[in-house]
Amino acid sequence: MLTIIEKFQQQELTDHHIYLRLARKEKNLENKEILNHIALDELTHYGIWKEYTKKDLPANKIRIFLYSLLSLVFGFTFTIKLMEKNEYQGGHQLHDYLKEYPKIKEIIKEEEEHENALIAMLNEERLNYVGSIVLGLNDALVELTGTIAGLTFAFSNNQLVALSGIITGIAATLSMAASNYLAQKAEGNTDAFKSSLYTGIAYLITVVLLVIPYLVLPNNMYLQALLIMIAIVIMIILIFNYYISIAKEMLGIDL
């Protein structure tokens, strides 16, 4: 039991440093205050465990680096909810031991409820535009995958396929962003430009990812490039669905 408690003690200190890093990078003052508050809670949890272990344990620097990197790519909401999900799953083992210590169990329960309430108050801008991001991803995956696959067999030359894919992708990005802007404007959305921007960026990033195999591989390896592109499409769908399932606490979405 002491070994398990030491593990959780170290995790609380590690999460404390992660939240502090997220708070330093956050520009929204309300979000910054909440993140600092959660960081303080994590340090309090560390102190509770320290009363039992009688030890000062170091933070896990590798975990801090990895979660900081995740926050740059996927945002702080995804990072925080992934941290809490892992902490909750690992907590089952500890809760079994705490049946004989109802006082400690009650303290942990109260702290978890307070922490979850604070996390629910966080508001990340990009999550408000998930629909726009999905629109860009969906069209790029459907249109560009079919187009590039057709060009692959028509040209049998990776450079020509890549060039054609880039030209088509840029034109489609501008078209999709403009269409989304007009649609949002017609519906009276005051953030129509920002919504169209997210759609265009999602579309363009998808185009770049799909074209990369054709830019990297030699001209005569067009079939291999096609297979890699299909693998990238599958990875995009899996990663984005996982992102949504964590950040928005859903089972997934249809792309």
- Asked whether the CA dihedral 137, 143, 145, 147 is positive or negative, the reply is negative
Q: Assign residue 188 a region (left: φ > 0; alpha: ψ between -120 and 50; beta: otherwise).
A: left
139 and 190 share one domain: yes
134 and 84 share one domain: no
Q: What is the pLDDT of residues 38-75, one digit of tens each?
A: 888 888 888 888 888 888 999 999 999 999 998 888 88
pLDDT at 255: 36
The arithmetic mean of pLDDT across residues 244-250, rounded, is 69
7 and 100 share one domain: yes
Do 84 and 118 contact (CB within 8 A), yes or no? no
Q: Quote the CA–CA distance of 213 and 94 in Å, as a whole number.
A: 47
142 and 220 share one domain: yes
Report DSSP letters for 142-178, one per residue.
IIIHHHHHHHHHHH--HHHHHHHHHHHHHHHHHHHHH
> Which residues constitute the domain of residue 37?
2-123
- Asked whether the CA dihedral 145, 198, 21, 105 is positive or negative, the reply is negative
112 and 135 share one domain: no
Q: Quote the CA–CA distance of 40 and 34 in Å, as a whole number.
A: 10
Q: What is the pLDDT of residues 91-143, one digit of tens each?
A: 555 666 666 566 566 666 666 776 677 677 777 777 778 878 888 888 889 88
For the ranges 62-71, 115-124, 175-184, 217-226, the lowest mean pLDDT is seen at: 115-124
Residue that has been written with the tokens 């990369």 in this structure: 212
101 and 171 share one domain: no
